[in-house]
Amino acid sequence: MTFPTTDDLQRYATLLIKTGVNLQPGQGLVIRGELAHAALVRLAVAEAYRAGASYVQVDWYDGPHVGGCARHCRRGSAWNCQLTKSHASAR
């Protein structure tokens, strides 16, 4: 398995922001990124600001943590357990 180079990730981040999101100057952006993809998320944030984003918020997601919560939550526990399960099933 070959891992993408920083240049590959930068090109992908540029494509993501300019074409995929089509971010316009002055718009805000929320990125939900898995911790395992931190390098790409950080490059996308920088690219969004270069494209004129007014603000970029990153909501980090930790798949193994959420999966563990979803498997081990008890019935009737806090509301965030249900939220966690819904996030896990959305993946």
Report the CATH number that the domain containing residue 69 is assigned in CATH.
3.40.1830.10
What whole-number percentage of the chain has pLDDT above 90?
63
- Quick one: pLDDT band at residue 48, thresholds 50, 70, 90? very high
- Quick one: pLDDT band at residue 78, thresholds 50, 70, 90? low
Number of domains observed in the structure of the chain: 1
Look at residue 1 and tell me if it is in a domain: no
Look at residue 51 and tell me if it is in a domain: yes
- Say yes or no to pLDDT of 86 above 60: no
SS (H, E, C) the chain: CCCCCHHHHHHHHHHHHHHHHCCCCCCEEEEEEEHHHHHHHHHHHHHHHHCCCCEEEEEEECHHHHHHHHHHCCCCCCHHHHHHHHHHHHC
| pLDDT at 85 (0 to 100) | 52
Mean pLDDT for the stretch of residues 6-24 = 97
Look at residue 18 and tell me if it is in a domain: yes
Residue span of the structural domain in which 37 resides: 6-90
Look at residue 44 and tell me if it is in a domain: yes
Look at residue 47 and tell me if it is in a domain: yes
pTM of this prediction?
0.73
